[in-house]
Each structure stands twice: as C-alpha cells, then as structure tokens.
Amino acid sequence: MIKNYFRPSTIDELSELKIKTNGYLFSGGTDLFVKIRAGAINTDTVIDTKYLENEELKIENKKLFIPLNTTYTELRKFIKANQINPIIENIVKTIGSPMIRNRGTPVGNIANASPAGDFVLASYLLNASVILKPSSKKIPVEEFIKGPGKIELEKEEFIYGIELEILDDYKFYFEKVGRRNAMIISIASIGLLIKEDNEKIKDIRIAFGSVAPTILRNKEIEKSLIGEKIDKNLFKYLANEFFNLSSPITDVRASKEYRKQLVYNLTLKAYINLYEKVVI
C-alpha cells in the first residue's frame, strides 16, 4: 500500500529520494497504478515527477527532445505545429484513448519497456537515445532496453528525456493489430520508414512490436537493401526474413504462430498500401 508520496522539484532531490526510498517514479500513472491495483507491483512509496522543473519539448540540431512529463496530447500538438515526423502522429493516436493520452507519457512508455509499447517502437524507428540524469548519460534506446520490462538504470538514475531523429521526405507506414479499435495492446505491429532515390532504397527502417522480447529491428538487413529496387519481391524477401527472425510468445491475446504469420502479412500489406495504392 502507498504510504509515502513525494514531489521533488530538482534533479538532485529526485535522485536522492529514489536512492533513499526505493520508490516508484510516475508521471501519468497509466502503467504504474494499473500494476499496483493488479498486485503486480507492491510499493509503499511513489515519487511524482510532475513537479520537477524540467525542460520543454524542443527541436535542436535536427533532433526532437521529449522531456519526462510530456504527455502524448502535448507531443501531438507539438508535432503538428512544427510539421515533423508525421509517423509519430500515426503511432501516438493509436495509444489508449484521449484520457490515456492526456496523462500517459512517452518517457513512461520507454521506462515500462514493453515489447508492445507503441512509443518504444517509434523510438527504435527514429534511432532514439535515452537521456538519464543526474549522470547525463545518453544511451541508444536498443541498448537501454534489455528485455521485457528491463531497462539499464542505476539506482540513482532516472529518465530525463528522449531524443529522436527528425526525418524529411520519408514514406511511412504503421499498423497495429489488436482485438478492438481503441486501446489496443497490440498482438503485433509494424512500423516502416522508406526514403527513395529513383525508385531505389536510399534508407529503410522496419520494426515490429510484440513479436520478440523487445522491438524487432535489424540494421544489417536494412543496410543490405540500400540501392535495391523497390518491388514486391523485395518485400517478400523482407517478410520471409522477419518471419524467421521473430520469436513471439503465445499469450491470452494470440498464439505465436498467428503472430509470426502477422509479421509476414503486415510486411506485404505495408508494401501494398504504400506502392500499390489499394484503398482499404
């Protein structure tokens, strides 16, 4: 049961409280309070990060900086106003519901480190780095997330923000398969970014959610495709590769076989939607 509630206003205060109490940090509480209620987390101390004097959302050197306590709703407004990374809007609008987006945060999503985390997928696609304080370490997201729910954080550290690349002139596709429209925790998801040069690949990034212990992305495969002609055969090859690379589990939402098939089908569907312009 929660017995202590703290509201640190400085980085040092927050860090000291974390060491001293071993309490759980929270911003939106949309993950933490669900887990406490379900009995998955039992803690007597929670630390509310919303009183911290932190920086604002900003764009610097072609990077987007999202500090802790930024909600999805605030991020969407910022993305729209600055007309950057439209794929983020496509992903974020599928997260939860307006109520979840008014409280939930990208930083909370990363800290939660779920392979189904939609903002985790966005971060992988945009080569994000996670910025920690008080150490000021900057760690690539795929190194920061070690496995389902596992992150690399020292006792005194917390996530201060996330930095993502800003990409121009990319085609993109995102789809999340789940059991109902709003508030789906994905059964499988795909995110794809492609930059073209004369119908050939200049850069490609492809990531899948919920089909491996962490988000599945493979930079070697991506690199090997640079200069290749974009056609259905190429996507069939990709679909096959990721079908083989995926290692999903069976849970209440879907079986592992079904998820593997989704990896294959979603890859082809992404191609069809982007290049054969079939309206679905």
Partner 1 sequence: MKIKFTLNGTLIEKDVPVNKRAIDFLRDDLGILSIKEGCGEGECGACTILVNGKNVHSCLMLAVELDGKEVITVEGLKDNVIQEAYVEAGAIQCGFCTPGFIISTKALLNETLNPTPEEIKEALEGNLCRCTGYVKIEKAVKLAAKMYKGSDSND
Ligand X SMILES: Cc1cc2nc3c(=O)[nH]c(=O)nc-3n(C[C@H](O)[C@H](O)[C@H](O)COP(=O)(O)OP(=O)(O)OC[C@H]3O[C@@H](n4cnc5c(N)ncnc54)[C@H](O)[C@@H]3O)c2cc1C
Cβ of residue 6: shortest distance to partner 1, in angstroms? 9
Contact by Cβ (8 Å): 142, 113 = no
What CA–CA distance (Å, rounded) separates 66 from 244? 34
> Of the candidates 19, 34, 59, 226, which one interacts with partner 1 according to CB under 8 A?
34
Of 24 and 208, which has the nearer Cβ to partner 1? 24
Cβ of residue 54: shortest distance to partner 1, in angstroms? 17
The site string for partner 1 over 69-98 (x = CB under 8 A, - otherwise) reads: ----x-------------------x--xxx
Query: How many C-beta neighbours within 10 Å does residue 128 have?
Result: 25
Q: Is 219 in the site for partner 1 (CB under 8 A)?
A: no
Residues across the chain: 280
In the β-sheet with 63-67, what is the strand arrangement from edge to edge? 58-60, 63-67, 158-165, 129-133, 138-140
Is residue 245 left, alpha or beta, with left meaning phi > 0 and alpha meaning psi from -120 to 50? alpha
> Of the candidates 15, 30, 123, 214, which one interacts with ligand X according to CB under 6 A?
30
Which letter, b or e, does each residue of 204-227 get, where b requires 16 or more Cβ atoms within 10 Å of its Cβ? Answer: bbbbbbbbbbbbbbeeeebeebee
Cβ of residue 250: shortest distance to partner 1, in angstroms? 23
Of 4 and 244, which has the nearer Cβ to ligand X? 4
Task: Note the residues at the interface with partner 1 (CB under 8 A).
Answer: 1-5, 28-30, 33-34, 37-38, 46, 48, 50, 73, 93, 96-100, 102-103, 181-183
